Amino acid sequence: MKYIENDLKNKTILITGGAGFIGSNLAFYFQEKHSDAKVVILDSFRSNETLSNGNLKSFGHFKNLLGFRGEVISGDINDKEMLRYLDENFDFDYIFHEAAISDTTALEQDLMIKTNLNAFKDLLDLAVKHNANMVYASSGATYGDAASPQKVGCEAPQNVYGFSKLMMDHLINDYIGKVDINIIGLRYFNVYGQREYFKNSTASMVIQFGHQLLSGKNPKLFEDSDKILRDFVYIEDVIQANVKAMTSKVSGVFNVGTGKARSFQDMVDILQDEIGTSYKCEYIPNPFIGRYQFFTQADIDQTKEVLGYEPRYEFEDGIKEYVGEIKRVYETEVKK
């Protein structure tokens, strides 16, 4: 579906983190729906560099971009020389900022603040210089254990990732009303869908449970998983929100979810229906009690009213559309 009718001919779009999950889906949306636009991807791509928790520092993967015909640049948003190169060699009309240290379990506070917050300011300054509207990835992690439904203004982050995203949201207040561009932060809730596999252990439990089932294993759930609720939002609705935000006449921070909370038990039950399995669930003690969000649900009233966003995918619909890709990835990446 084409979410805006604006002519993007001769427009140049920068997507940071464009080899990652959401960034790569944005790149293909513009390639398929607005082929006259020029799309430039900046991504640090993955290397062997890891964080102290053992997870990769960067999840960008070339396979997320197979079939992409735009320009791809390998670079780090912390590199001021790289940002100078972008400034001097392109004239951007829109910037989608998806690059981040996105691992919520990362302990490197210095790297998190430097990458997520300080580099964001440099990119904001680039956007202002180019007169380019900016849409950036904030996060539902800003809310921590705040009461549901979570509303903008009721934040209580419980990790440095959520804190860094909240500081990004505060930073744009230094720009709003003082510059001629619009800046919109989108607080993603639990996103799932195609091109997330290379996030490894940080990919959604939808694909992780899907692959458990396809391998013939009983799904392992935390005890009381029918009471652990999340606002699971399909990638197509996230792309819709981004594209509608790019032409918004206002700036601000908005939630992106479905406005409905579903349980992890629902997830496994829907997957079993779609895959055609009936394995017995195994329930294990939850080691994250006291450090774990048990109920997230996005208040999307403002997102709908201001951005014209309307989620199209119920949880059943999203999984049904996604399951073919889950199977393909299992055959081509997991089993090999």
197 closest CA partner among 214, 218, 216? 214
| Residue 292 annotated in active site | no
Helices vs strands, H then E, count in the chain: 10, 13
Q: What is the DSSP string of 132-191?
A: -EEEEEEEGGGGTTPPSSB-TT-----SHHHHHHHHHHHHGGGTTTTSSS-EEEEEE-EE
What span, in angstroms and rounded, lies between the C-alpha atoms of 146 and 158?
Answer: 10
What span, in angstroms and rounded, lies between the C-alpha atoms of 190 and 255?
Answer: 11
Contact 68, 28 (CB under 8 A): yes
Among 3, 29, 136, 161, the active-site one is 161
Residue 87: beta bridge partners?
none
| Residue 197 annotated in active site | no
List strands edge to edge, sheet with 94-97.
71-74, 38-43, 12-16, 94-97, 133-139, 183-188, 252-256
What span, in angstroms and rounded, lies between the C-alpha atoms of 31 and 18?
Answer: 13
Indicate the length of the chain as a whole number. 336
Pairing of strands 38-43, 12-16: parallel
Among 11, 165, 199, 244, the active-site one is 199
Residues with a catalytic annotation lie at: 161, 199
